[in-house]
Structure 1
């Protein structure tokens, strides 16, 4: 079990992150939009992680923020070197994030067990499914980080479509074509209560449905409540085609969300 000794001050880590982001500043406005996107995303994931972790031990809440600060550090060199956020066209950003963490010895203020817990959470935060067999505390931190990450990725993606084209961070759409169709296998997966595989995507609409399917992978009841409060499903409905197949898929996800929240009320 983790020590409940005095919780370290995270201000040095926060200051390091600000300096790290500053080291990637670019005179190219289009490039800088993408770096700014990831800096804001990380700060929002930190906020979400702290909110989801409320009620946990102070030490665990601290680790939640540490993991959130570190989780996307690899996005900055990834975009600098490859001009994309698509891992399959570059490299695994989560593995690169863990590498940056080690190179800068960012976790030296933690215990050995805590360092291992955070490193695993950072390295695995983008896997399709949480692997079995992780130590309980590691699995819990990983699941919390994945929830917090999703909450802000939804914001990023919805804002991308609401912004004028010239103000969009170019890499946010991962290069998928903006065509009206939705792949049948993507719709089938969402209707069946399954996560959508990135490899099955053909369009931006498919990418939207993939993100809708993430609701099936939410771990904390508080995250589900935030999804409802923020109207995530309604916002995706507004940017997806208004046809029966899509509406049916969204209805299935809404039923799942309502059922999970109702169950949590009956069985707190």
Structure 2
């Protein structure tokens, strides 16, 4: 896939996205807060996708922005219909996002091959692991989208936790209760260098550990640098219990991040 001398103008797609978000506008302030959250999240994922893709070629940077702009289209009907962002209690929002893209023909300005890359990246961006056997450009785009998505989900969750309860977007915490301590299964997964499975969570603190464990799943050096620059791990450390087990697994993740940054710098 060669970079083209002239790239498509993405202004119509950005305008369509704004109109799409407006179509869900409601006078219910609690619901609208969740729609606003996802609109802002999408714009930030676009920004971070371009930061990560910088230097990878103008054509790839364009694909990264398109994938980022479309990746959470399904979140809007999901929250409207189910009042949750928890896929296990509603539907797979990534699959719905890919369906909405096709339904509205938003990628018709792209060649078939590029359209296929974006559809796979959007459909699979929330998968626990990247599937094997994907074409190289599709896999690169999927990994980049997953990185950019994580970067802004961390921001969303940190802001959610630090906001007064009355101002929180209700969907951001996925409905987990705010209980003391952390559960054994999430702690064991992080200690073993693995990502935490959503099905093992029992509390908001467990959900924080799950998000910390995403640092094991980062694909691009630029993302690692942004994690460090934005003090992501330090912010989660401030939100988690000071238990010895928790501090130990956080120190382990910090060492992992340091090592990856050293490797990227060599």
TM-score range, shorter chain: over 0.9
CA distance in 2, matches of 1:149, 1:264: 21
1:64 aligns with 2:64: yes
Matches within 5 A, 1:56-205: 56-205=56-205
TM-score by length of structure 2 reads 0.99
Select between 139-148 and 180-189 the one with higher mean Cα deviation: 180-189
Native 8 Å contact 2:215 2:257 kept in 1: yes
CA distance in 2, matches of 1:111, 1:46: 21
CA distance in 1, matches of 2:208, 2:255: 18
CA distance in 1, matches of 2:166, 2:264: 43
CA distance in 1, matches of 2:3, 2:154: 34
* Deviation at residue 148 of structure 1 after TM alignment: 0.2
Native 8 Å contact 1:72 1:94 kept in 2: yes
Structure 1: segments with no counterpart, 5+ residues: none
Native 8 Å contact 2:3 2:60 kept in 1: no
CA distance in 2, matches of 1:123, 1:264: 29
Matching residue of 1:216: 216
CA distance in 2, matches of 1:26, 1:240: 35
1:237 aligns with 2:237: yes
Q: How many residues align?
A: 266
Native 8 Å contact 1:42 1:72 kept in 2: yes
Native 8 Å contact 2:38 2:72 kept in 1: yes
CA distance in 2, matches of 1:249, 1:40: 31
CA distance in 2, matches of 1:38, 1:11: 20
CA distance in 2, matches of 1:225, 1:5: 30
CA distance in 2, matches of 1:216, 1:146: 12
Cα displacement string for residues 144-172 of structure 1 (whole angstroms, at most 9, x for unaligned residues): 00000000000000000110000000010
Matching residue of 1:258: 258
Poorly superposed stretches of 4+, deviation over 4 Å: none
Matching residue of 1:43: 43
Native 8 Å contact 1:2 1:113 kept in 2: no
Superposition CA RMSD, Å: 0.7
* Deviation at residue 34 of structure 1 after TM alignment: 0.2
SS at match of 1:211: helix
SS at match of 1:180: coil
* Deviation at residue 263 of structure 1 after TM alignment: 1.1
Native 8 Å contact 2:181 2:243 kept in 1: no
* Deviation at residue 181 of structure 1 after TM alignment: 2.4
CA distance in 2, matches of 1:57, 1:227: 23
SS at match of 1:134: coil
CA distance in 1, matches of 2:230, 2:262: 18
SS at match of 2:132: coil
1:54 aligns with 2:54: yes
TM-score by length of structure 1 reads 0.98
- CA 2–107 in structure 1, closer or farther in 2 if over 3 Å, else same: farther
SS at match of 2:190: helix
